[in-house]
Amino acid sequence: MLQIALPNKGALADDAVKLIHAAGYSCQRSGRELRVRDTGNQILFYFLRPRDIATYVSNGTLDLGVIGRDFLLEQQSGLHEILSLGFGGAKLCYAGPNSAHLDLEDLEGLRIATSFTHLVSKDLARKQTQADIVPLDGAVEVSIQLGVADIIADLVQSGRTLEDAGLCIIGEPILKTEAVLAGHEEIIKTKPTAQLFVRRIQGILLARTYVMIEYGCPRSALQQACEITPGIESPTIAPLSKPDWVAVKALAKREETNRIMDELESIGATSIVITEIRTCRI
Ligand code: AMP
């Protein structure tokens, strides 16, 4: 039986369950149970504290885990990032008081409060900057008010937490993070259930990235149409009862949908229909 660790709380917990459920697995808890068994798919899901997941997976107790890339790299567990999961996006950034107008050249000699001591030390070494790291477990933004740090390094998503604390981001992020599926590389080669799990999740992620676009196109504009919607390999072209017209069908990036529709309309395409994809394998 494949054993997968999922976060039991925090920023990634709900979206992890939604993604895995969409891939056809039963992983929903009815209460606060520690584990959920999906007998049909031969998987046991364990709900664990986010910061413990890398430990259980790296020592081989569990096979795979959903974890933030930030934790994965901070904990140096030796685990491999098998798949990025497209949710839980955030940036690990330096931030300081609005009134201080700091930039990255000003970090020398400052006290930096963070729970990402490894990632911040590595970043400071890369910048050849000497600063004092003040290790804290969380809620680091309050450390400046309390006088134990000059700036912080923390995860920023919407920026609201920083704004509320009167802080602003300093320079480029140290790291861009999101939820990832982590494990030892061999697990995918040795356990067919793990391989299938990854393929199914990839199917859902692709379906979230692409839409299906279908339209009618005059034959005279077909070459331009195929350039606008090349699909992943090539578009499907089917004859229509009107001899000078064809129907075209192709996958297109969701974020490009409106631009594509505008361009198709401008070359004379009609009946342009966009359809959601539930899952797919490419
Ligand atoms: P925000 O106010 O939206 O910028 O969120 C910042 C706070 O939420 C920080 O204190 C982070 O610890 C937490 N947070 C935001 N995004 C994530 C994430 N992807 N993973 C873990 N914690 C996060």
Q: How far is the CA of 159 from the centre of ligand 1 (A)?
A: 8
The number of residues in the chain equals 282
pTM: 0.91
pLDDT of residue 2 exceeding 90, the answer is: yes
Q: What is the mean pLDDT of the chain?
A: 97
168-174-180 Cα angle (round to 5): 115
Q: Which atom of ligand 1 is found nearest the CA of 140? A: 10
Span 148-198, pLDDT tens digits: 999 999 999 999 999 999 999 999 999 999 999 999 999 999 999 999 999
pLDDT at 97: 98
CB neighbours (10 Å) of residue 195? 14
Q: Where on the phi/psi map is residue 101: left (φ > 0), alpha (ψ -120 to 50), or beta?
A: left
184-222: pLDDT as tens digits: 999 999 999 999 999 999 999 999 999 999 999 999 999
For residue 42, pLDDT over 90 is answered with yes
Q: Which residues line ligand 1 (CB under 6 A)?
A: 10-11, 68, 88, 90, 154-161, 177
| Residue 178 Cα: closest atom of ligand 1 | 19
Compute the C-alpha angle 86/59/53, nearest 5°. 35
**Cα–ligand 1 centroid distance for 90 (angstroms):** 7
Two structure tokens written together for 82? 């098998």
Burial of 100 (0-12, 13-18, 19+ CB in 10 A): middle
* pLDDT at residue 38, as a whole number: 98
Nearest CA to ligand 1 atom 10: 155
- Reported as a single tens digit per residue, the pLDDT across 227-277 is 999 999 999 999 999 999 999 999 999 999 999 999 999 999 999 999 999
| Ligand 1 atom closest to residue 179's alpha carbon, by position in its atom list | 19
For position 131, what pLDDT does the model report? 98
What integer is the mean pLDDT of 18-47? 96
pLDDT on residue 282: 85
Mutation to probe ligand 1, out of 8, 53, 154, 157 (largest number of atoms < 8 A from CB): 157
- Say how many Å lie between the CA of residue 99 and the centre of ligand 1: 23
How far does residue 80's CA lie from ligand 1's centre (Å)?
23
